[in-house]
Structure 1
Amino acid sequence: MRTEYPDLSWLSSPEVFRVNRLDAHSDHRYYESMEELQSGSMHLRQSLNGTWRFSYSENPSLREQDFYHLDYDLQHFGTITVPGHMELQDWGRCHYVNTMYPWDGHQDLRPPAVDMEHNPVGSYVKEFDLDHSLRGKRLFLSFHGVETAIYVWLNGVFIGYSEDSFTPSEFEITDWVKDTNNRLAVEVYKRSSASWLEDQDFFRFSGIFRDVDLYAVPESHIRDLFVKADLDDDGKTGLLSVDCEIIGNPSVSLEVSLEAPDGKTVCTGKQIPASGPSALYEKLADIHPWSGEDPCLYTLYLKLFDRQGTLLEIVPQKVGFRRFRMVDGIMCLNGKRLVFRGINRHEFHMRKGRAISEEDMLWDIRFMKQHNINAVRTCHYPNQTRWYELCDEYGIYLIDEANLESHGSWQKMGVCEPSWNVPGSLPEWKACVVDRAVSMLERDKNHPSVLIWSCGNESYAGEDILAMSDYFRQRDPSRLVHYEGVFWNRDFERISDMESFMYGKPADVEKYLQSDPKKPFILCEYMHAMGNSLGGMRKYTSLEDRYPMYQGGFIWDYMDQALMKKNADGKEYLAYGGDFGDRPTDYQFCGNGIVYADRTVSPKAQEVKYLYQDIQLFPDRNGVRIRNRRLFTNTSDLQFLYQVLKEGRCIHTLSFEACVRPQEEQYIELPSPELTADGEYTWQVQAQLKSNTLWAKSGFETAFGQHTGRIGSPPSMPEVRCTAPQVIHGDVNIGIRGQNFHMLFSRQDGGIVSLVYEGKEWITRPPMPVYWRAATDNDLGNKFAVSSAMWLGAGLFPGYSNQDCTVEETAEYVRITCTYQLSVVPKTCTTVSYQVYGNGSVHVQVHYHGKQGLPELPALGMRFRLPENAASIEWYGNGPEENYCDRREGARLGIYQSTPAASLSHYLRPQECGNHTGIRRLTVTAPDGCSLHFSADERPFEASVLPYSAEELEAATHWEELPPPRFTNVCIYGAMRGVGGDDSWGAPVYPEYCISAEKDLEYSFWITGQTRIC
């Protein structure tokens, strides 16, 4: 029975979540003719996107209560763009929180209560005429996404009410719509009882943020469609099942045909009953299966005819034949064990919030395919329909997640305390959460990319979520069900078909896998990529080769959530939690992406692409071993490029092809030049696309592998054939003069105060040992910045007196040694010696004296502050992107060029960045063409060349706070601590990537000046 009058009390009742709202259905398109279908435009759909009249109120008592009346004066209303969020159009305040509810500390609330004093209301009005093609037909109104609760009126008549921000809310309006001069009024409430179920880790927006449209239906119409495209056990025979719900005139016939991707008809003219439930079941021979590697899509055509044979409606539906099921405790796609190399993805744009466009989605999916990501979890809500179509077409596996998270109701400051958890087993909440499952499944059920239904995220467990999983299994046995929350309440194990941890450590995962498990294992979230993170990822990805029941994971997460904002000077910057006056907040905890908020790629993506490679390449001096980790396709789509490099420069190139079958490996011998000259050689193989694809052009590199070796003896201290430099002993300074260089060493300051090559000064402050780095988000989260804080003072304020300086003169060189006493407890020191030759070569040796009881070091290095912003840098070492000792699998040895500014990694909060491991030589070139050269001694060093010091980076909370660059900070490290990344709130860096301060540490390198480049 239709409800005619709205009630504000619905906002605080979990039992009222839909009023006059239609049942959910599939998201198929339909057309009235083949010509219309071929045009791609639905004539029976009218978009209401665009400019709407709008009024904003801080709470319901201040709202425009009668604005839906036809005679209501809208002169004082402003405007707003739909789709879009209120807050991003200067209506209300942006607010970011993670797990705590936004009203925490402001109001003492418990579910399902709503804070009506702070509950913004948007009053939307759209005036429209019906398109001629819609007039005289049954008409429906569809909101594809509105946060969080909506009341709808048309022409002064109450139409309905709905909650659930991320699935369509649809209403029939046939009896109240006019051909012209319609007034649609929508009242949007930011908060309702549904807000207790939408506590996701994101900005808390409100408004109509997805499409709004009208759609008409023909006299007879396929309202709902459920296509099941299974495979027989032989993997070649398709099992096609079609179920339809047809409304309207029952005197119609329904014809079904199936077309292959090449346009050939697979089956045609199949008649199925059009009255009552309509169903078809067909076995089809020689079907090409769908997979992420080969996303083959057939087209199913359903045609409705009247008794005279006139076409009334045609529905095209893309179909992918595939079988996903559990086989002996392992998730298998088309009979093969599937490993998810996945990522969690929020819908987000730095200017539009969650109101993203198809262009944004295309960028995202191409990035994912280019970086070997094969799966996405739609965290933590159903995405726009277009995303599922793209995943079908491009080949991305999906965990489709229901719009449910009540994190703050059961976990407080990391402690499980579910005394007032919702939905739990509360009967008054069951219907609304099951409705969320129904709305998602019914819309998305025909997409082959959807392999798993997820009951939501971080909502504990109980009878209500169990009811969701029961619904999924009953309605769609062809897919599996996921829910991680049973980890916290094992009484509800049967909710999830798989074991799913969040941020379990590799050792914990192995412990589960070694315990004779009954369920396969996935990490629905792992590798918390907040700031400079993702260290140690190989510890997870290596599990897939050792444990068949380990089936991968989903990195947290895809993109930083940050919004463009202007500062007081009108300059735009990326803002995060707290920058909008929003309290409470979790500040930069929204910055966890391997892609920055402006859709530029972060250096973390380099590691992901390599570790997710489905083609692994292991070259050596004689050839390459190619391991094909694909499940269904060979390597014939790839061209391989084999290169031999000497000291980073290519001396031999060879292209070749190889057809390695799926799940097999092959060693291929390759001709290589005879290598006689001493030096370091790298044998490198790249896999490149032969042809253009949807997601990349021919020649795009999908995988690489390297092997490095040496011919001849390893490098030693170079033989310097020159006389010793001249030494000038001043009262305060020691001068050293040689061939086109001059150096001043201050006894008073304890370091080099001048280093001049060919008349150019390279020093602004004495180079000093550094032990600190600008704390990463992980350093802060695991409290390493606290435990190691004494190293900041040790570097900034070294103890030194002129008695700590010694000078040794020989016939070949002058050695000046300085000892720095460190302000740590217990006391220790670092000795730095400079061995200077007459030709200007300087051998630098750093010796840190370990002492028991000292905390681990963030870094050990020497910092050189050059007097101007360098024009360029070049290094022979690991690149091209920044890398660290625990995040360098995806780096490769080579020669690279950059600039100090380009070496900055723009994590949301400035922090340690720009490091490179394995550096053999490094050249910094000034704007005038002069260069300063650093080279490794016995072993490679690590280095960064940045326009800012660690202290400057750490003092800033946003990049726009940093001053224009004036100097170049060159840091030559003997050791740099790993960045970690198992999580960002306590997980330590693994011991093998830490730097013990209890042991002696020593390293050395060379400095030389280079002639000006003309």
Structure 2
Amino acid sequence: MSQVNIDLSHLADPTFFADNRLPAHSDHLWYASAAEAAAARSSYQVCLDGVWKLHYARNPSLAVDGFEDPSYDVSQWDDIAVPAHLQLHGYDKPQYANVQYPWDGHEDIDPGQVPTDYNPTASYVRTFTLPQALPAGERLVLRLEGAESAVVVWVNGAYVGYAEGSFTPSEFDLTAHVHAGANRLALRVYKWCSGSWMEDQDFFRFSGLFRSVYLRRLPATHLADLRVGVSLSEDLRTAEVTLRTRLEGPGSVRAVLDGVGELVAGDDGVARLTVADPHLWSGEDPYLYDLDIEVCDADGAVTEVVPQRVGIRRFGIEDGVLKINGQRIVFMGVNRHEFGEQGRVMTRERTELDLIALRRANVNAIRTSHYPNNSFLYELADEYGFYVIDEANLESHGSWDGVTRQGQDPEAVIPGNHPQWHDAVVDRVTDMYERDKNHPSIVMWSCGNESYGGDNIADMAALLHAKDSRPVHYEGITWDPRRPDTSDVVSQMYTPAAEIEAQLATRRDKPFILCEYAHTMGNSFGGADLYMDLAEREPLFQGGFIWDFADQAIRLTAPDGSAYWGYGGDSGESPHDGDFCGNGIFYADHSESPKIQEVRHLFQGLRTEVARESFTVTNRFLFTHSSAYDCVVTLEREGVPVASADVETDVAPGTSATYPLPLALPDGADGTAGEYAITVSFRLRQATAWAEAGEEIAWDQGVVTVEAPAGLPGPFAIAGNPGARPVLVRGRHNIGVHGESFQVLFSGLTGALTSYRYGRTQDGAGELLRAPVLPCFWHAPTANERGYGGPYEEGAWQLASRYPRLVEDHDWPAAVEEDGESVTVAFTYALAGLPGSTCEMRYRVLGDGTVEVTQTLDPTGEVPSLPELSAMIQVPGTMDRLTFYGEGPEETYVDRRGGGRLGVHSSEVVEQMAGYLNPQESGSHTGVRWARVTDRRGRGILVSAPEGGQIEFSALPWTPFEVEDAPHDFELPLTDRTVIRPALMRRGVAGDDSWGARPKKQHLLPTGRLVHRFSFKGVL
């Protein structure tokens, strides 16, 4: 077919998705010589990335006609980089949408049809030069790695072809239309086509040439396609490597597996080689053989050299579970959108850094959500050892969410059973398979994402089953079970661990994975340990893939000129889905978010239980002994290193072993009593491709208390000597409590502790408070809390925090008591929005300036779930340094504290505000024994838990209300204070999903009367 004039009827025809496009093939590259191959610089390929000429139009009717003609003057057109998204270079608008189609509500169109008024159309022009005419038999091919979402190709004014399918290459033969000298290449890219109905992924909607563009020269004898096969014996002691080739032109192929020998072709044309004692590829040891392929013409001259990496491994369903080289696997994976600071324009270098970061976070698997990635992702996954689910470019979520929400007719879903969509979806899965089939890192194929079910998707699976032995994945059969043969595994999204266990109690026909779980939107990833615990005790549950790798956000400019990360709606687009794109365990710039601390610990391959005299190591690796790592045991007393020792361990995979503790605990005499942390750390003995020698890959802690002998002082107490009884001054409106180096003032008018001076107390100097101390029950809602409607359900606690009213039931507004060593002042508050509920703040002032706080919440009747119980203490903003003894260094919460290490940690207060796209509760720490907030000279305040106890602690430059009111970080107000919130407890952050999942019961604050105790004191 030669369709010269592409018009709206073609764009809106699901059966018209390719014209004159060459068949898909393996992603190998060919070189003219071995020297070229060694240098990875092929003279057969020219990259056309760089500056192109561009004309942009809002829709096809406004696009220029005849621009493909070489005589058409484009000198005054704009310049644009290729690859790039138009929307990140001043054209159109970036639009973030999740389920809803981006044109929804603007134009009333049926599936397959395209918007007519708004369909951004880009015309590209680039000139390339051929030094001489192509030799006889040679061909020139244009390769577009990614064009979103439909592209028309001309060269020298002649129509060449058309293609859809944004995320797999499109190739066109230019041979008949090129000549020696300058040649004009003209492309027209449409944002929307019928295929856009199948590209409704949860991401920013862009368009243009967003992956690289190449010219490739094909010799007269050319290796058009190759397929490497590997078959392992049952005992894994021998392997057969096969090579199937498709040769264009007369000639022959010779292939040698480096270090083993030459593959010998049989009568069936398949070359074979037996490998004895093969070095197996796995995620723990991603060993790759070099397969060197030579292509010779009929005269025996070498025309091409093709290097191919080969991983010898076996993956499949054995004994009812997924196994790699005979061992049951647990996916500790992430979903990864191909998205960075330039949108979906990615480089190999950036991708490699991503994979290094994931390896260092102990991630072992990647799902390419929800489309095939650049080829270099799979090459790097082969090298770094990731198990990959390769997913076809199919998602039609917006066409079927009404089936589950509103009971709409499932027959309206696309692609469903509709014949007009069949060939297009099969073409998409074919393109993925043919390009990526030789990568050992790919262990499963996926038919796409969230497109319901039906015969068309079942035919995609059938094609993969016919071509390949790897299992096929498709989550949609959970929603549409009519064709269970579509998926070899049970795959679900965001199912709580308890529900998975309940399902597996009765259904045991297939392995169970979560293709998406632990929706890490904002401050999230709480309770994820429940999934990994289930994977250890239930063989059929084989892990899952966190949603997702990194925040999808684009860099925008704030009114003050500063840069910030923008999300849905920030570019003036509509419809949009707000900050729902901020789901990453990494930030938008791919730096680590605080959640990585928990991911790294949860996914570590070695687990250790530490006791007072021994430690037990459990090896969760499949093939690696613990002896591959240095084991270092350290002893710290309240954050101060005491001793360290090395231990030789040799725990086989899947087993446990106990070793005596190599360090002796002190006897408590001579001031050695106190709390001790014993840390067992495993570190790389040698450098790897992803980390230096000495990098920690696993750790665990045990905490023990050493008591002092009878008659000696007890463990270290932060409060110190209480000193002489302070002086009580009863004023008309204020109560003052004074000591040698401090003054405390309680206001009867304000009804609170309003002043605390320490050190130089004359003339107002030494003041540590910027606002009255008040109870706090609220934090800036997290994304998960917003998702289940927490602010609506629990908003009374915000009112209670902002508008408490003093209950004056004493002669003076507060109760005042004295004893031999202290003065106690207590205020009782009625809580706005919670009739009958009260909170008492009781302050016991000691002679050294220590203020012991007892906060008692007394709720009445049915009250909403409590976000937190804390006190809010605001100190000068110059006190911007935080040092604490507790679990860190990153933020921890009751359901996300496994990765927090007990120790002394320091940072600037502003660094405690995590960089979530929408500011929210962050920066809290569990297990805090004490915390100091000071200025640069060390002057400030010390907050302590009761002796032998723990609190949660937060210090930020803003109040919870200021954080809640800021949609972006640049909208946080200028501040001259540090806001300290010592808490009895903060509710867990949750994270099974972000649209209804709540914290588990064990991660909620208890109901009923609650008592919170802590103390504070000035420090100099």
The one-letter code of the counterpart of 1:393 is: E
- Alpha-carbon deviation of 1:307? 4.7
Which SS does the other structure have where 1:511 is aligned? helix
1:863 is the counterpart of 2:872: yes
1:554 is the counterpart of 2:545: yes
In structure 2, do the counterparts of structure 1 residues 184 and 717 end up closer, same or farther at CA, with 3 Å as the change threshold?
closer
Question: Which residue does 2:418 correspond to in 1?
Answer: 426
Matches within 5 A, 1:248-647: 248=249, 250=250, 252-259=251-258, 265-268=259-262, 270=264, 278-350=269-341, 352-412=342-402, 414-415=405-406, 417=408, 418-476=410-468, 478-647=469-638
The one-letter code of the counterpart of 2:586 is: V
Matches within 5 A, 1:709-728: 709-712=704-707, 720=721, 722-728=723-729
The equivalent position to 1:666 in structure 2, one of 657, 668, 688, is: 657
TM-score normalised by L of structure 1: 0.97
In structure 2, do the counterparts of structure 1 residues 271 and 460 end up closer, same or farther at CA, with 3 Å as the change threshold?
closer
1:482-518 Cα deviation digits (max 9, x unpaired) = 0000011111111000001111111210111111410
Which SS does the other structure have where 2:997 is aligned? coil
CA contact (8 A) 1:641 1:656 kept: yes
Question: Which residue does 1:968 correspond to in 2?
Answer: 978
Matches within 5 A, 1:216-227: 216-227=217-228
Question: Which residue does 1:1001 correspond to in 2?
Answer: 1010
Which SS does the other structure have where 2:584 is aligned? coil
Q: Give the Cα–Cα distance (whole angstroms) in 1 for the partners of residues 25 and 140 of structure 2.
A: 16
1:34-78 Cα deviation digits (max 9, x unpaired) = 122122101000111100000000001100121111111213311
Which SS does the other structure have where 2:309 is aligned? strand
In structure 2, do the counterparts of structure 1 residues 272 and 210 end up closer, same or farther at CA, with 3 Å as the change threshold?
farther
Question: Which residue does 2:34 correspond to in 1?
Answer: 34
1:937-961 Cα deviation digits (max 9, x unpaired) = 0520001010111011000000011
Q: Give the Cα–Cα distance (whole angstroms) in 1 for the partners of residues 419 and 132 of structure 2.
A: 47
Q: Give the Cα–Cα distance (whole angstroms) in 2 for the partners of residues 306 and 475 of structure 1.
A: 29
- Alpha-carbon deviation of 1:408? 0.4
Question: Which residue does 1:946 correspond to in 2?
Answer: 956
Question: Which residue does 1:878 correspond to in 2?
Answer: 887
Matches within 5 A, 1:779-790: 779-790=785-796
Which SS does the other structure have where 2:270 is aligned? strand
The one-letter code of the counterpart of 1:448 is: P
- Alpha-carbon deviation of 1:637? 2.6
The one-letter code of the counterpart of 1:942 is: E
Which SS does the other structure have where 1:901 is aligned? helix
The one-letter code of the counterpart of 2:962 is: E
- Alpha-carbon deviation of 1:295? 0.3
Q: Give the Cα–Cα distance (whole angstroms) in 2 for the partners of residues 777 and 647 of structure 1.
A: 35
1:82 is the counterpart of 2:73: no
- Alpha-carbon deviation of 1:868? 2.0
CA contact (8 A) 1:341 1:552 kept: yes
Question: Which residue does 2:711 correspond to in 1?
Answer: none
Which SS does the other structure have where 1:305 is aligned? strand
Question: Which residue does 1:161 correspond to in 2?
Answer: 162
Q: Give the stretch that moved more between structures: 602-611 or 635-644.
A: 635-644
Which SS does the other structure have where 2:679 is aligned? strand
Question: Which residue does 1:262 correspond to in 2?
Answer: none
- Alpha-carbon deviation of 1:927? 3.1
- Alpha-carbon deviation of 1:577? 0.4
Question: Which residue does 1:907 correspond to in 2?
Answer: 916
Q: Give the Cα–Cα distance (whole angstroms) in 1 for the partners of residues 308 and 290 of structure 2.
A: 6
Q: Give the Cα–Cα distance (whole angstroms) in 1 for the partners of residues 407 and 878 of structure 2.
A: 51
Question: Which residue does 1:111 correspond to in 2?
Answer: 111
CA contact (8 A) 1:272 1:280 kept: yes
The one-letter code of the counterpart of 1:167 is: T
CA contact (8 A) 2:722 2:846 kept: no
The one-letter code of the counterpart of 2:442 is: V
Q: Give the Cα–Cα distance (whole angstroms) in 1 for the partners of residues 213 and 304 of structure 2.
A: 23
CA contact (8 A) 1:644 1:684 kept: yes
- Alpha-carbon deviation of 1:4? 4.9
Q: Give the Cα–Cα distance (whole angstroms) in 2 for the partners of residues 933 and 132 of structure 1.
A: 79
Q: Give the Cα–Cα distance (whole angstroms) in 2 for the partners of residues 806 and 762 of structure 1.
A: 24
CA contact (8 A) 1:135 1:179 kept: no
Q: Give the stretch that moved more between structures: 655-664 or 771-780.
A: 655-664
Question: Which residue does 2:23 correspond to in 1?
Answer: 23
The equivalent position to 2:773 in structure 1, one of 760, 767, 772, is: 767
Q: Give the stretch that moved more between structures: 575-584 or 64-73.
A: 64-73
1:460-500 Cα deviation digits (max 9, x unpaired) = 00000000000000011x20000000011111111000001
In structure 2, do the counterparts of structure 1 residues 743 and 112 end up closer, same or farther at CA, with 3 Å as the change threshold?
same
- Alpha-carbon deviation of 1:728? 1.1
Question: Which residue does 1:792 correspond to in 2?
Answer: 798
CA contact (8 A) 1:70 1:155 kept: yes
- Alpha-carbon deviation of 1:369? 0.3
1:654 is the counterpart of 2:664: no
Q: Give the Cα–Cα distance (whole angstroms) in 1 for the partners of residues 494 and 418 of structure 2.
A: 29
Which SS does the other structure have where 1:636 is aligned? helix
Q: Give the Cα–Cα distance (whole angstroms) in 1 for the partners of residues 358 and 230 of structure 2.
A: 26
Which SS does the other structure have where 1:32 is aligned? coil
Which SS does the other structure have where 2:912 is aligned? coil
Q: Give the Cα–Cα distance (whole angstroms) in 1 for the partners of residues 989 and 133 of structure 2.
A: 60
Which SS does the other structure have where 2:866 is aligned? coil
CA contact (8 A) 1:646 1:682 kept: yes
1:340-375 Cα deviation digits (max 9, x unpaired) = 00000001112x100011121011100110001000
Which SS does the other structure have where 2:918 is aligned? coil
Q: Give the Cα–Cα distance (whole angstroms) in 2 for the partners of residues 599 and 623 of structure 1.
A: 39
1:637-662 Cα deviation digits (max 9, x unpaired) = 31111011111211110123322222
Q: Give the Cα–Cα distance (whole angstroms) in 1 for the partners of residues 981 and 969 of structure 2.
A: 20
Q: Give the Cα–Cα distance (whole angstroms) in 1 for the partners of residues 898 and 322 of structure 2.
A: 28
In structure 2, do the counterparts of structure 1 residues 934 and 358 end up closer, same or farther at CA, with 3 Å as the change threshold?
same
CA contact (8 A) 1:145 1:168 kept: yes
Q: Give the Cα–Cα distance (whole angstroms) in 2 for the partners of residues 901 and 132 of structure 1.
A: 62
In structure 2, do the counterparts of structure 1 residues 401 and 415 end up closer, same or farther at CA, with 3 Å as the change threshold?
farther
1:687 is the counterpart of 2:682: yes
Q: Give the stretch that moved more between structures: 770-779 or 75-84.
A: 75-84
CA contact (8 A) 1:236 1:289 kept: no
Q: Give the Cα–Cα distance (whole angstroms) in 2 for the partners of residues 209 and 158 of structure 1.
A: 22
Q: Give the Cα–Cα distance (whole angstroms) in 1 for the partners of residues 353 and 635 of structure 2.
A: 34
Identity of counterpart residues, as a percentage?
A: 41
Which SS does the other structure have where 1:923 is aligned? strand
CA contact (8 A) 2:257 2:289 kept: yes
Q: Give the Cα–Cα distance (whole angstroms) in 2 for the partners of residues 63 and 77 of structure 1.
A: 13
Which SS does the other structure have where 2:130 is aligned? coil
Which SS does the other structure have where 2:312 is aligned? coil
CA contact (8 A) 1:53 1:124 kept: yes
- Alpha-carbon deviation of 1:612? 0.7
CA contact (8 A) 1:782 1:988 kept: yes
1:393-439 Cα deviation digits (max 9, x unpaired) = 00001000000000000004955633521000001100000000000
